[in-house]
Chain A
């Protein structure tokens, strides 16, 4: 489903905003002071954007016909549409961390990346004539980036002391 440029920007910003909130929630637990939390949040956001770009790019590489038929914008729209699943995760994470004082932000981040990636793959598959490769590529990339985020959090904790 093609979107207008305004809608494309708004949905992309919504996804980025949600991941920023999730990264901030996790950063509060691993960072020491506002500077470290901000740094963690920014790096986490870059990782997320790399993940979205990788899902888009690898799916295009796996099926160049899609690029000729759809163009970059339509593929991006489908991926971002899948990633909108992060919205419920963000609200639940805010509730869990701030209202119920759980310490599970990292679990919310990793589950949201995996779920969003799978949803993006399903969205691409639905629009591109049900080719399963979209789902497989997207889930694998999301799994890798979920792991990368876990490693990044561990490394950040070590470096931050």
Chain B
């Protein structure tokens, strides 16, 4: 492995012709490009000690090393607005219990609203509402974790370099927007008596698919077609679990 502090680095924009490569740069200059956002994870990097050009994200310490962690709140917000960037930061600063709590709470509140909607029209009793709520907790933690694990297994043959733990954390945090929708929906459900499971719950859960596609792109080396196929498989499984739980 090349020493991260060594000089003599070159880089090449992803998709750019070989003659447009830049360098040599010192490690600090290269890190400066990374931290200023001028070097993308998929841009290629080379050093005389490397056997070939490598994507920037494969150079240890270049994209995920010494930069300050963005903090849980900022990571969560980034995951809603621009998930690709949040993932590029490798979810630094977000401990795994927070990630699990995000998806767990999102689905718990969403399923609670489903139960409340059904209770309002007389198709579910109090016990069923409580049951729905616990089902949501199971979906948001166990089911999402299992789907993430499946995506990781399927992405391995495509050259996935991310760990199983990273994948599960990222999948869980992808449901940040779902949690926001679920909280707002629950407020309207309780305060105004609206039926919110579809308007807020489904919309919120669907909004999570932008981060999911970004996560899968990151896992598969920015291969869009494969990540879309994996997203379709994962999405269909989640929809099917959701439908089975709602019966």
Contacts and interface: CB of A to CB of B under 8 A. Distances in A.
Interface of A: 1, 81, 84-85, 87-89, 91-92, 95-96, 99-100, 102-104, 107-108, 110-112, 114-115, 118-119, 122, 125-126, 129-130, 135, 139
28 contacts: A81-B224, A84-B224, A85-B231, A87-B232, A88-B209, A88-B228, A91-B236, A92-B206, A95-B236, A95-B239, A99-B243, A104-B202, A107-B198, A111-B203, A111-B207, A112-B206, A114-B207, A115-B206, A115-B207, A115-B209, A115-B210, A118-B81, A122-B83, A122-B85, A122-B214, A126-B40, A126-B84, A129-B38
A89 B82 contact: no
Q: Interface of chain A, helix or strand or loop or mixed? A: helix
B240 interface: yes
A100 B15 CA distance: 42
Closest A-B pairs by Cβ, 3 of them:
A111-B206, A100-B243, A88-B232
A107 B81 contact: no
Given A119-B213, A126-B84, A107 B206 contact: yes
Contacts of B203: 107, 110-111
Given A85-B209, A91-B232, A122 B239 contact: no
B210 A108 contact: no
Interface of B: 15, 37-38, 40, 81-85, 198-199, 202-203, 206-207, 209-210, 213-214, 224, 228, 231-232, 235-236, 239-240, 243
